[in-house]
Each structure stands twice: as structure tokens, then as C-alpha cells.
Amino acid sequence: MFKKILIANRGEIACRVIATARKMGIATVAVYSEADREARHVRLADEAVLLGPAPSRESYLVADKIIAAAKATGAEAIHPGYGFLSENEEFARRVEEEGLAFIGPKHHSIAAMGDKIASKKLAKEAGVNTIPGWNDPIETPEQAVEIARGIGYPVMIKASAGGGGKGLRVAYNDKEAFEGFTSCRNEARNSFGDDRVFIEKFVEEPRHIEIQVLGDAHGNVLYLNERECSIQRRHQKVIEEAPSPFISDATRRAMGEQAVALARAVQYQSAGTVEFVVGKDQSFYFLEMNTRLQVEHPVTECITGLDLVEWMIRIAAGERLPMTQADVKREGWAIECRINAEDPFRNFLPSTGRLVHFKPPVETMWQADTEHRWGVRVDTGVFEGGEIPMYYDSMIAKLIVHGKDRAEAIDKMRDALNAFVIRGISSNIPFQAALLAHPDFIAGRFHTGFIAQHYGGGFRAEDVPHEDEDFLIALAAFVRRKSRERAAAISGQLPGFGVKVGKDYTVIRLAADGQHRYVPVHVDEFVGESGQATVLVGRKRYQIRSPSRLSDIVITGEVNGRPFTAQIERGSAKNPLALVVQHNGTRMECLVVSPRMAELYRLMPYKAPPDMSRYVLSPMPGLLVDICVQPGQKVQAGERVAVIEAMKMENVLFASADGVVAKVLASKGESLVVDQPIVEFEK
């Protein structure tokens, strides 16, 4: 076994590998860029080596520097994590040639699966289902019908040079195939000057389901069940679970056996993943093979009780798999939510900056620990007070839960999201909460188009319906009563001027447009020692019990005998006196005041926000890489104004109307904050 390994990565995956290495008694070497000097993975490792400047092309992607760091520190092996150089055939070859072990598959396996066309050909030869199709140009509509019949309806008729939805038709019968071919060909000729058309099987309501495989250097290959990864936004996975709520045992076995056949065909030695597209009739077809550890590997670890990183290391050291396919467990249900530094209410734009508060939910299962399961786990590479840099991807944590069945896992995940405190930057937690509460998700009725179908116009606060908003109002009143009781108990108050507690309150549900909701609330039977009270909101009665302190952001307790977890804190950006309540993705800003104060508040005039229509504002924190206009320049609507870069994304800002530039308010190379004015137009 290795005595020391180097992790050629950063963030949560580097921390994940360090956890297993520590368990195995292996020393670790971290590598880092200038932006990651204070990063968590650098702190956790036994040694750390600086690679270079922040951009990954000058640090984490420079193979020579990584290999030199391994040699200088005496590391015997390199774990590439995922991303960066993890599926780089040349890097794997170089590591082996330098006399080091690559903790991953052999370079020839990476090469075989790296070419999409070649990998599909190899998969077909190995007996793996590939999407049936006709890839040669088709000359006549009659030939198109004949081919479509051979493939089996429905089929997709596609222009060879197609794109943007042009030159694409779906046919369900001979008539549609005949007409679709003709119109598709004409459209392709007119749009692209290329009338070549081909046909392939159309997979209806496709799901993205992948099989985890594990192979050693002695010819043993196993499949470790499947992961359901269909909840995606712009082809990026958002929620993953194991097992899939969709496929049958027979389909699972058939997919697993085909994944093993493919792994054997390329002499696969490590953890890897074979991805399939699965139709609503449970037909499945090979997409690609990922020759590395997957982001979502923890859900497989939960249901199998196997540490995948440990087995990657053991296999790289030449060890033999000690289990057979019959030994592979499938216990309970696991779900993973990717917690990203992005603002779901601003079209998921990156959100960078300092983590003022970062308090994950209480963990009851941990990385590299296969003994403690059936709980909550957080994989992260950040810490409170740390910085989320703009140079790398937006994922700040993975939240994983393991329950006895899918319903319990969903409930655990909703509670864990409620307890996850992130302040200083925006996160996608409200979006995750909305997905988990969606009736189609709960019922397991979804496919890869789920998010586009339900949130195609973007994500808004209204898209997070709360099952009982009056509970949030009751909770705000409960906390306010608790604070008044404490204030009244402070000694030394002047006679006649002491704090009066009172039982009647009005909760003012604040709205951005000034259309506030006024709700009378009665708080009675308050017992401070046990932290309980009866709260009446209209005709609804809430018996609340909570031991949480007023200083706690996360409040836990029971309401009408049922447990709850919520977040509540005083003060918001708009109103320092407001209470902000968050629960199940819903955020409510309110004032809890006496009935008389509520009457007076109604008389306050509404102050409209300033008109910023003359300005181009930065939609996200980032680096201003280009200013495309100058003062006095006439600009038309849709014309390029500025370019901002953050987290591997380049965001181009366009003028929303015709106008003349009055001032340029920011400089090229400047770091911007959200809503910072960049350009001002004349009135």
C-alpha cells in the first residue's frame, strides 16, 4: 500500500480523498493555486505545494507542475479527483511513465472511452445497447420510411448540419416519416446549405441513469447498482439518487451486465460510470463512459456500504476485489443535492464572495465512514469566513441523506436543507427545496426535461409554494413573544416604563411592491422554561415547542406534535427591524408589532425603489473583462455593452433599449459586486 499520495485537485473532492487516505493511514499532499492558499483542502492535507496563479490553465491543468510536486514530496501515486486532468489520457500515461501510480483507470481505457464515436462502436461490439440509427445520407422519402420502420417508431429525423431546433422532426408513423423527411431536407438546405439528413431512434421522456462499475487488475468487474440523474438544468445534474425510482430489477440487472461487459472490453481497472439514456418503456441505450470518480458517488456509497475512494486506491495498489456480484448490497435510499454558489432568482448567475455564515446541518454520517449510514452527510471544500473564488466551478457543497425508503430520504433532505445556513453569497437551496416539494418529483414522474418543463421561464419566489404559510407567521410571532418575555425579565427597569409583553400582535408580511399582508395573531399559554406557546392565526391553532435560543439562526422544535426545522433571524438588507423566516425554500420577511403600531404602519407612504432603467448593472459578482462602449457613443438595443467573467462563465451584457452613453462607471479589470452600475445612459 502507498505511504503517500498527491491529490491533483481542489475543493470538496480533494477533501473527500484526504478523508479516505487518513482512514487508511496514507499521508497526503495537496496542490493549490494562489487563489486557494487558505482553502480547506490545503489545511487538511499533510503537505501542500503551490502550483501557480489562480487560473486553472496556469495551475491545476499543468501536468508538469503536478508531477514535479509528486516527485519533490515523495508521493508514490496521484489521485486526479474529477474534472481538471482526471480524464486526460496523456496525463495518465505521463504519471505511469514517471514511475508513479495513477489512481484511476489505465490510459488506454481512458483513450478508448474518450472518443464518442469510437466508444459507441466499441460498446456495440461488446453487446451494449446503442441508439439504433442510420448515419448515412438518405436520398428519398420512401427510403426514409423504410429505414424508420427498420429502426422502429418513434424516430428522430435530423439534418446533418442542424442546430437550434432547425432541421429536426419526430415521426410516429409512415406518413409523418415521409412528410418529415421532405420538410426536414428542405429546411436544412435553406438554413444550412446542406441537405443531408439522417435518422435515429427517438427516446420518449428520456431519463439519465448511470451504472457504477468497479474493476481490478485481476479481471474482476462488478456493477454497484444505478444512480438516477435525470433532474438536470442545462445538462448539469442538480439532484441525484440511488436507486432509481423508475427501473425494474430486470432492467437494473440488464444495464449492470452490459456496463460490466463494456468495462471488461476496455480492461477497466478502477471506479467508473457507464451512462445510459432510458426511455419511458425502460428501453436503454449507451451514452458514454466516465473514466473517473463521479460527483454523485456518495449515494452509491450509502446504499452499498462501500468506500469508492478506498477501492480506487486499493485497486491502483494492485489489490484484488474481495467480493462477488452477489455480495453487492442495495440498502435503503440515498439522495444528493448539489449546493451551488448561484442565485436561482437571477437566472442562476454565479455568486462569489465571502461566506459570512456557513453552518451545514448536523452530520450523522461522514466521508470515508461506511459504518455510520442512514443519516445526513456534507461533502464540502469551504468553511465559514472563507472566500468563494470566481475562477472555479460554483459547487460549494454536496448534501447527502440516506433513508430506509424514498419518502424518508426526501423528508430528511428537506429538513437538512432547512438547517443549512449560508450567508454572504446566494445559493440554490430555495430551488432545491422547490424541486423536492414538487408533486411530480415526489411521485417519481420525471425525465431529463423536468426542469425545462416546469421552470422554463426561470425560477421565481412564487415557484416555492409553502404548504402552510400561516405556520411561518405563527413562528415569527412565537419568536417575537419569546424576545419580549426576555426583555421584560431584565432587571433595573424604571417603574412604569418596563417592557410590556402583551398577547396580541399583528404580523405584517412585507412585500416588495408595498402590498403588505396584515395578520392578527394571538400568543397565549407561553412557558419560557420549556419554550412553548399556543399561537392563534385566524382560526388556526399552532402548539409550538422549541428549545432553541433567540441567538440561534436555525430553530428546531415541534408544531402540533410534528417536528420542524426552520431559520429565523432579525434584520434584512431593506429593514433592520424585520424578522426573516425561511422554511422549505420559502423566505418570508415580516414585522411583528402591536396592533396599534400596525395601524400606524398602514399610514406610512410607500417609497418606490429608484429608477435604474438608465443603467447597465452587473447581474453577478465577477471580473469586468471588457467594456464595449464609450461616453457619447450611440447604442442600439441588443448591442454588446460589457463582458463579465465568473466561475468559468462569460456573461455578455447587452443594451435593453436604444440610447447614448453618458458615463462609463467601471473600469476594465475591476472586480464588480451585484447590481454595481457599469454604464449610464443619457436621459
pLDDT for res 174: 95
In order, the DSSP letters of 321-353 are: P---GGG----SEEEEEEEESEEGGGTTEE--E
Nearest Cα to 60, choosing from 41, 32, 39?
32
pLDDT in tens, 15-73: 999 999 999 999 999 999 999 999 999 999 999 999 999 999 999 999 999 999 999 99
Nearest Cα to 582, choosing from 680, 461, 677, 412?
461
CB neighbourhood size of 390 (10 A):
24
| 494: Cβ contacts below 8 Å, ≥ 6 apart | none
pLDDT for res 661: 94
Amino acid making up residue 542: Y
pLDDT for res 115: 79
Query: Which residues in the chain show pLDDT less than 70?
Result: 117, 135, 161-166, 191-192, 648
| Cα angle: 383, vertex 385, 386; to 5 degrees | 60
Q: Do domains 332-465 and 469-602 have the same CATH topology?
A: no
Instruction: Locate the domains of the chain by residue range.
Output: 4-103, 105-131+205-330, 133-201, 332-465, 469-602, 615-681
CB neighbourhood size of 450 (10 A):
22
Superfamily of domain 133-201: ATP-grasp fold, A domain (3.30.1490.20)
pLDDT for res 579: 95
* pTM of structure: 0.88
Superfamily of domain 105-131+205-330: ATP-grasp fold, B domain (3.30.470.20)
501 neighbors 485 (Cβ within 8 angstroms): yes
First-to-final CA distance of the chain: 71
> How many H-runs (helices) and E-runs (strands) does the chain carry?
17, 39
Residue 288 known to be catalytic? yes
Q: Which one of 47, 98, 179, 288 is the catalytic residue?
A: 288
The domain made up of 4-103 is a member of CATH 3.40.50.300 = no
Class of domain 332-465: alpha beta
pLDDT for res 165: 59
Question: Helix axis angle, 89-97 relative to 63-73, nearest 10°?
Answer: 30
CATH of 615-681, one of 3.40.50.300, 2.40.420.20, 2.40.50.100, 3.30.750.24: 2.40.50.100
Class of domain 469-602: alpha beta
CA distance 84 to 86: 6
Nearest Cα to 524, choosing from 509, 541, 539, 507?
541
